[in-house]
Amino acid sequence: MSHGAHSPAAVATVALTQRRRLLRNLGMRARDLDAIGRALLVNWSRAAGALALLDDHANTAGWLDEDGEPRGFTRLYIGLLNAERLAALRLADHLRARDPGQPLAPLADEGRRARLAAVGDQG
């Protein structure tokens, strides 16, 4: 069984959904962002998309193998979780610098939701 997180096409499809969801939660459109903001959004959404694919895989295959050892994808998951966190912080910093009045609570909530889901799936 493959998780799809190494497939550019699979990640791109899920990343598009993640990107649209975040923009909707922020009350923004992609055209509201400058080029750097769009690049940061794409960077975040790719990491979030790959994490979503791995979450689906973990829900199906489980986090541990028959011997109780972490499955191979868990290393990738940890790296992607950190990449997503850093990308969200950079995007939030960029948005804050562009428009200090821009509400960033939805972005923080999205990151918190991802972290809690990751911790909840492990426990």
2-41 per-position pLDDT tens digit: 776 768 888 999 999 999 999 998 888 888 899 999 999 9
Instruction: Give Cβ neighbours of residue 110 (< 8 Å, ≥ 6 apart).
Output: 21, 22, 25, 88
The tokens for 38 are 């769009």
**C-alpha to C-alpha distance for 100 and 119, rounded to whole angstroms:** 31
**C-alpha to C-alpha distance for 10 and 6, rounded to whole angstroms:** 8
The total domain count for the chain is: 1
80 in any annotated domain: yes
1 in any annotated domain: no
27 in any annotated domain: yes
Query: Is the pLDDT higher at 107 or at 89?
Result: 89
35-94 per-position pLDDT tens digit: 999 999 999 999 999 999 999 888 888 888 899 898 888 889 999 999 999 999 999 999
- pTM value is 0.73
Given phi > 0 = left and psi -120 to 50 = alpha, else beta, which region is 83? alpha
Domain that includes residue 29, residue range: 8-122
